[in-house]
Amino acid sequence: MPIILEEEAERKWGAQTCLDQLQEEAGELVAAISHYRRGREGAAEELIEELADVAITLSYGFHILGREKVEKKRAEKLIRLCERLGIGEKGNRDETPAGE
């Protein structure tokens, strides 16, 4: 049976701590984006690190709150995003400028 990292994380640390980690990493990502936008030295590396941390801890949130529920909501939001971008079901772009 494959080891699912987010299951192991919840078993070892508990759901609340996993969500605390996600919150903490999300906060670190916000700070890293600010450093990057201000041109701080080493900010690109910091941002890459925090993106990786958030990607990992996001999986905790998916697992704890129900991957199916999150994926369903994500799919709904992706459909709306595609509509706003003018991307059709087959990936074709609607070249009509906005407002016409």
DSSP state at residue 87:
B
Out of 15, 20, 28, 56, the only residue in the binding site for Mg ion (CB under 5 A) is: 28
> From the list 32, 53, 60, 64, which residue makes contact with Mg ion (rule: CB under 5 A)?
53
Measured CA to CA in angstroms, residue 38 lies from 29, 41, 42, 45 at distances of 14, 9, 11, 14
Residue listed under structure tokens 């003018």: 86
One-letter amino acid at 34 equals: S
> Of the ranges 1-9, 45-53, 65-73, 80-88, which one interacts with Mg ion (CB under 5 A)?
45-53
| Candidates 2-10, 26-34, 59-67, 90-98; binding stretch for Mg ion (CB under 5 A) | 26-34
